Structure 1
Amino acid sequence: MTDTIRLSELTTLGVGGPAAAFVECTSEAELIEAVLDAWNTDQPWLLLGGGSNLLIGDEPLDATVIRAANRGIERLDAPSGRVRLRVQAGEDWDALVASTVEHGWAGVEALSGIPGSCGAAPVQNIGAYGQEIVSSLVAVDLLDEESQTVERVPAAELGLGYRTSVLKRHGGGEPERSGVVVAIIIDLDDVGVDGLAAPIAYQQLAFALGVEVGEQVRLAQVRTTVLALRASKGMVLDPDDPDTASAGSFFTNPIVSEHVARSLPGDAPWWPVDPAADDDTEYVFPLGEVVNPPRPAPVERLAKLSAAWLIERAGVRRGFALPGSHAAVSTKHTLALTNRGGATATEIAELARFVQARVHAEFGVLLQPEPVVVGVTI
């Protein structure tokens, strides 16, 4: 355990007050020990990875901050043509993606440039440019709070959805399952260093590559193009660019009923979302009886809106800042709220609430923050 540290030094937004105590865990064993100690002594605690998806308040945090800095990548047995990796939670996500591309392993190349640690990746099912970690994730090794043991939890049991899982804290609330990811297990396609990436699934990326959606190009070409696209939006960390002092996309794209989506202006972009799976209840009736089985309840059709479009059409432009504030909307992308130098968490939260209010007043849609929020209210 080290002396108190200001959390602004450990978050990409550059905000956050001092922590009561700070523990950096450089091995899996240290991480497990630190978390178990926090659980068994009932002390408040906060797990920190890369600090890229976190907004922490300015006041002193009465908690022990446990930083997952455990490193290591192990290759496991896998089916023919596949590569299975066990990656410790503290590994840098983008460094992992770079390594997979260099080795000719396909499956996460479109997730290049996303800041943060590997342990945090499944917590909110990171995704970009048509890929999500759910497509490659096999399981996580989870230090479960209830059993206080490390359990291998299959990806199918994590409730992975659009920027969510059963492990994520929503709006400061408790997760559905309490535990700490100590390692992730992913499967990738072994296509070779000159091999092709997964089929391009996102129009903007396809356009930048000069191909059609569904076509394939080399792995390295996808990574290079994605990094360029992210950099153009201020989404690749750069100490010389204040637009990158952010938590990435601050708001998720809203999921609403298709009826709400169709009520928006005609140029509002939206995409159908797969409805919930059909009711698979089995009905058993006596032989010889004529029975009309109950009709399944109608499934509401859902749609995903563009948060960026809603923000811009609500009158919040790139570079917008409240008077006297050091927080501002990115000059490159309206989804990012940035620290222009010396901003406080309070200023970031005030700007977030302003954006929410403008969008809600204009369209009746309440934007939800994507980062985990601690010690401040949005």
Structure 2
Amino acid sequence: MPATPSAFETTPTFADLTTIRIGGPIDEFVRPETRDEVIDTVRRADAQGTRLCIIGGGSNMLVSDAPFHGVVVRDMRDGIRVSRSAPGDSGDVIVEADAGANWDDFVAWTVSEGYEGIEGLSGIPGSVGASVVQNIGAYGQEVASSVLSVTAWDRQAGAIVEIGHDNLAFGYRFSALKATMYETPEVQGTGEGRRETRWFPSPRYVVLAVTYRFRRSRQGTVGMGQLAKALGVEKGTRMDLTDIRAAVLSIRATKDMLEDPTRYANPWMAGTKREIPEAGEPNHNRWSCGSFFINPVVTAEHARRYLDGAPQYPGVLPDGTPGVKTSAAWLIDHAGFHKGFRLPGVAADSADGAEPSSAGLSTVHTLALTNRGGATFDDVWRLASCIRRGVDDAYHIDLVPEPVVIR
């Protein structure tokens, strides 16, 4: 039996908890197993004015190596409940999942049960709660398409609230939940007790559970050209859910955009995933935050002037008007940052013959910034900043980081 963390260490570091394996020590780490424990922990941290970080799978975050003076909460609840069939003769089913459930475990469960809706989101690291904050998407699907509502703890009101789909303001890698992360709470108290900090690095609304509407079907729709090509069919073809999931996992594996299963040898990860892939040697291409930059959406005029030859798809601008979405990976590569690119190490006297930085682009995918072993926050951030400057110089686009960055 593996040793429990308490047997040798009081608290983990963020490097123990994140997929990029970077981050400093944590003052307090709490793993609540009931809804009441989740709420009590959040209330206590807020009452004390302590920084609060709700962590899911640790896949979409880049954290400083400095100590985190606050409370980190990892919800250990992973229940799934089929509450009822949807009204009418639609054949749909209503499912509620606890926020702490591992996302890919949940996807695998829906496929095994014959529930269509999120099979294209297979292999994405993280948790059910984090998935709706980010509105994850891949291979022609977004989680928003299946979400009916979110049950959350409102840190401002001190109450459990139900937020319906229409009030979640889902957009491309965006939700109303995510927006509240950067809002400033109403001022509470006076003098030394006065609090004016943002809710960051967690939203005002702490997700407790998510309710979905799925279609009862053993088949799903192949919704993206790349996926269709892998399956040898036309886009829009109906296929068995298990075949779609297998193809998605295979594509993600070829790009090393799956999490490295060796992370589960770390006792701090115990109990967070039910289905753990067989682990071989560590794969540093997978020591990443996933996609580091959001695919930008620009005006049609900007695309015409600067994006000749770049992939272009219909998109929506922040103001809700039509725009052009392009590929961040293409921009990075064509700005001169190719697969495996690494900067010289910061301690080098010159770039000529210097040891490379421990942070670098994946050797198979330019959208993943990776920890090649021993990388620090500054190593990754220096690489990200260099890439952003290069893309801005070449295409007049400021790439926006996708991970939550905690300094």
For residues 202 and 34 of structure 1, what CA distance do their matches in structure 2 show?
Answer: 42
Match 2:304 to one of 217, 238, 262: 262
Distance 1:169 1:243, change over 3 A: farther
Aligned: 1:196 with 2:219: yes
Structure 1, gaps ≥5 residues long: 278-298
Distance 1:335 1:143 in 2: 34
Distance 1:124 1:59 in 2: 25
Give the match for residue 128 of structure 2: 118
Native 8 Å contact 2:294 2:401 kept in 1: yes
1:310 corresponding residue in structure 2: 331
Q: Distance in 2 between matches of 1:35 and 1:67?
A: 11
Equivalent residue, structure 2, for 1:231 = 253
SS in 2 for 1:316: coil
Equivalent pairs, count:
350
Choose which of 101, 111, 115 in structure 2 pairs with 1:101.
Answer: 111
Q: Map residues 203-218 of structure 1 onto 2, 5 A cutoff.
A: 203-218=225-240
Aligned partner of residue 322 in structure 1, secondary structure: strand
SS of the counterpart of 1:184? strand
Q: Does 1:89 align with 2:89?
A: no
Q: State whether structure 2 residue 150 is matched by structure 1 residue 140.
A: yes
CA RMSD of aligned residues (A): 2.0
Q: Structure 1 pair 172/233, CA: closer, same or farther in 2 (3 Å)?
A: farther
**Distance (whole Å) between structure 2 residues aligned to residue 213 and residue 196 of structure 1:** 14
Structure 1 residue 66 corresponds to structure 2 residue 66: no
Tell me which of 27, 30, 38 is aligned to 2:45.
38
Code of the residue aligned with 1:220 in structure 2: it is T
Confirm or deny: 8 A CA contact 1:47 1:65 kept in the other structure: yes
2:154 aligned with 1:128 = no
Which amino acid counterpart does residue 387 of structure 2 have in structure 1?
V
Q: Does the 8 Å CA contact 1:172/1:372 hold for their aligned counterparts?
A: no
2:247 alignment partner AA: T
Q: Measure the CA separation in 1 of the matches of 2:293 and 2:85.
A: 37
1:250–1:369 Cα contact (<8 Å) kept: yes
CA–CA distance in structure 2, aligned partners of residues 45 and 63 of structure 1: 6
From the superposition, tell whether residues 175 and 134 of structure 1 become closer, same or farther in structure 2 (CA, over 3 Å): farther
Choose the corresponding residue for 2:359, options 301, 321, 327.
327
Deviation at 1:78, TM superposition (A): 2.6
TM-score of the superposition, structure 2-length normalised? 0.82
1:362 maps to a residue whose letter is A
Q: Match of 1:367, as an amino acid?
A: L
The 1:126–1:265 alpha-carbon spacing in structure 2 relative to 1, beyond 3 Å, is: closer
Structure with bigger helix share is: 2
- How far is 1:37 from its partner? 1.2
Structure 2 gaps, min length 5: 1-5, 184-197, 263-281, 346-356
Please name the residue that 1:343 is paired with.
375
C-alpha deviation, 1:271, in angstroms:
0.9
**Aligned pair in 2 of structure 1 residues 111, 175: CA closer, same or farther (>3 Å)?**
farther
Structure 1's consecutive aligned runs of 4 or more residues displaced over 4 angstroms after TM superposition are: 169-177, 274-277
Cα distance in 2, alignment partners of residues 300 and 65 from structure 1? 38
